[in-house]
Amino acid sequence: MKLLAIVGSRRKKGNTSILVQEALKPFSMEGIETELIFLGDYDIRDCNGCEACKDTYKCIVDDDMQKLYPAILESDAIILGSPAYFYNITADMKAFIDRCYCFEVFDKDDRSVWMGLNEALGVKYAAVIAVSEQEKEEDMGFTAEAMVKPLEALGYRVVSTVKTLHLYKAGEALKSEKALQNAKQAGEKLLKTLQLKKEVKTKLSENHL
């Protein structure tokens, strides 16, 4: 079992980073392998819409995203975290998500028929953490949805969406018991979902189904 966590803020000691790492704790406590990625450490160019991936499911853009594709494919679950930047995800997170377009599969003749690669490989699971400064949820805009919708399109079931409001300065999340608790609970739910899947698979094979 492996969990991949992606932080879309460049503030390594910022609120998104803190909350994503809090969500990882239940996995580490169970000795499950986790990988934490700060997108700011990677040179990820925008998707150029070349469609070269359409038959191969591989992106031809030669940049650091090539290091992340194997990690995405190998992981059983993913956590995406981003602060609100003008009501939306950060540019780093948007570039990362757009470059996962190579994992979208379309029928050759009818593009209304499509699926995420995970639907063919086996559904995966995800959690989303969105962070914003203002007190009202509307001021966070589409930040959470801008991660949830693409994840769903890619064949992930998003089991937890955490919207954390009213955090501004880097590190403020450490002082918010509620924010830390919500992030940890999101991790716990994701972990329990993966454990349930494992249990069901074992029972299925025991019962020769």
The three-state secondary structure class of 131 is: strand
When asked if residue 11 is in the footprint of ligand FMN (CB under 6 A), the reply is yes
Residues 6+ apart with CB under 8 A from 178: none
Q: How far apart are CA 85 and CA 140, in angstroms?
A: 8
Least distance (Å) between residue 166 CB and ligand FMN? 8
Of 57, 87, 101, 142, the one binding ligand FMN by CB under 6 A: 87
When asked if residue 75 is in the footprint of ligand FMN (CB under 6 A), the reply is no
Closest by CA position to 127, among listed 83, 71, 186, 72: 186
Cβ 94 vs Cβ 149: under 8 Å: no
When asked if residue 35 is in the footprint of ligand FMN (CB under 6 A), the reply is no
**DSSP-assigned states of every residue in 9-57:** -S-TTSHHHHHHHHHHHHHHHTT-EEEEEEGGGS--PPP----TTTTTS
The residue number whose beta carbon is nearest to ligand FMN equals 14
When asked if residue 168 is in the footprint of ligand FMN (CB under 6 A), the reply is yes
String of contacts with ligand FMN for each residue 123-152, x by CB under 6 A:
--------xxxx----xxx-----------
Return the number of the residue (2 or 11) whose C-beta is nearest ligand FMN: 11
Contact positions vs ligand FMN (CB under 6 A): 9, 11, 14-17, 83-87, 131-134, 139-141, 167-168, 170
